[in-house]
Amino acid sequence: MQSVGAGKIGNYDSCLAYSRVTGTWRPLQGSHPYIGTCNEISEAPEIKVEVNIQEEALQGTLKAIREVHPYEEPVINVIPLYPDKVVENS
């Protein structure tokens, strides 16, 4: 992700946080699960990654994730944050 500009904060790059989580899912008819069986709930250890991305790097980052992630449908949440100056002025 860093190669496409994700994780840059001020004068730092390669900034991210990760945590170990347990993911659950049930593949539905027509899916091609990397792990699990259709119509059965699956559970596996996963790593959740959180990274700041400037808007201009968003599409490249999403593309990079999808190119390397093994899941057919990786969980990706894009959460807009307030600019620093809004927080500083409150």
CA distance 89 to 85: 6
Q: How confident is the model at residue 89 (pLDDT cuts 50, 70, 90)?
A: low
Tell me which residue of 24, 63, 57, 18 sits closest to 41, measured CA to CA. Answer: 24
pLDDT for residue 83 is more than 90: no
pLDDT digits 0-9 by tens, 17-33? 999 999 999 999 999 99
> Tokens for 14?
């390669």
> Tokens for 67?
């190119």
What is the overall mean pLDDT for the chain? 90
- What are the structural domain ranges in the chain? 2-88
- The answer to whether 41 touches 26, Cβ cutoff 8 Å, is yes
Q: Which CATH number does 2-88 carry?
A: 3.30.70
pLDDT for residue 90 is more than 70: no
pTM to 2 decimals? 0.76
